[in-house]
Chain A
């Protein structure tokens, strides 16, 4: 071997065996570590909704060199994209990594996240090789319904209609879906009611005016509370509870003349006592009247005798200003019946309050005279011009064997009212069976929750200025006094305030090169309350072609939409400005998207361009390198061993022999 070769080989030996020989010359242990390349995939969603609980992501890891890696150490790092704050650094563990891809789930509690965009990175290291994959995702808050406010008049006069105004809001970022509004009133005259709510889009407000008739017939302090129930990720969720208090004054409002005072509606003002040979077939019991709104009540009588009868009706003259009878006297033949109209036309100058009007009936028949006084009660309240008004009349019919209610619903506003919810609450003790309650005028459902039969009237819409009626009857009412406890609750929601129903949460931009095609995917979250079509239009400069520039997608509430636009670039690298226009009913927006087009490395011919060096080795290459390294190591070891064995050895006996020889020579020379 030539000296240069020996020198080079010696150097190679020295370098190679530096780590192999270590310090021991007696025990030689060689450990050859060959890096094993591996690959990672990391799967995340574009958006994660922060429902209570954990967020789930997954990744796969597998080796690429046909080799096996002992369980490597890795990390999941979640970093805010706006300020690069790391909110989570979680260690990851896997089993031994082989060439078969294995899925691993990684979960973390979403309490570390807030409503913003994050970059999630999975990173694994194995010896000198490190792989990491990063994905962006956006965290959004789920739907959250709150009762923003509940307001009631500070005080009510007995018999006055209670108007509760409740404002709800969806403070989350998903549409709320169907929900239920619960209203409870505690006090001397408690009651509860619930109303279905329509879906609210994110940030949307909705206000409800709850009108409760006959809610203030008993004086005292009342507390009204409201809360909502809705579904959140399949589980029941409850909103906050808001409350307000109001006072029902004990004093009767000042009525004209001999208006009955001291306690609103008397519980015993309607003794139904048939006169001889005369039956009252219907008697007005209770009516709610808005000032300025005329109303009509009927009084029905029948001659049950065998001789003609003369009947005279009269009311006190104090009520003559707004109360009149269609006829004050009439003659009835035997078995003849007739209804007399009582017309109420209160103008706005008449004080509001509860009026109990005595109606005197005088009978003359075959020289027999009899008198009877019936009492007609009505509540007069101030007109409501800002919401739908409900007016209730209640009469006894069919010889007091049936109670009939007439509910007048009027819309004095200039807008059509939608989704009206009217509930009639009938005390349970008033009817023996739910089948004794019959309704007409609107589709209804009748339920019997605790304390009340509830008639739910379904009134889809009511035009501006329109008036409509709903009717119900109760067969065999068990108590005349309880008839006055029947309440009507009308919930009229206001028009919801407009809000954004579409949010672009992520736009996936791949790396674009010249003369190539790739896709831009736009992820947007539709939070409208009903299915509708969303239109996407992307425009670009002439150097960029968009093959599917216009797309339309039918979107469902809370659906993540991800239209993909196919982009074809030209030969000119640079930055191009694309425009994305998104429109749907109630929403439209334009976004500017800068598109960076890089020179395609495969097309470069100039010598000045820097090419990326592909250091990726094939599986066969890795194996070959490992084999060569092993062979070299063995060759070096064999060479070193051979050289060591061939080197001259110092032998003491030889040296002594030589020294003796030299001494002998010296002696012989000297002799």
Chain B
């Protein structure tokens, strides 16, 4: 690690601490969004590059996490827009998934959702963010987020077959 890295603090965290603490969330968002490991890695790296270059001031760690997720989602959107590459579900399933079978089923069901539903469901259930925070990250109204969350949950139940918890 370079000397510059230790000089900067992000919500009382060093850059390395930030990377290690939020790599899971950022990678999950990118993977669920892009459904491709290589593309998810690009967006993952771009997210932390932005963090390092811009080094914004964060009020607390929640703010930091929300900023990282928002940047990660935007990076994924930009990546899809720039590459115009639509991955099929079969392609995503062919990728090695280092997780259990049930988790892979859930990920498969989640990826079958539309992107809007997928983001809301993931942020709400996986990242356990509040509706207000999701609305801030996605730039949408809270009622819209609630609607997307309700419909996404229903669609996920139809796809996966089970009860949401």
The reply to whether chain A is a binding partner of chain B is no
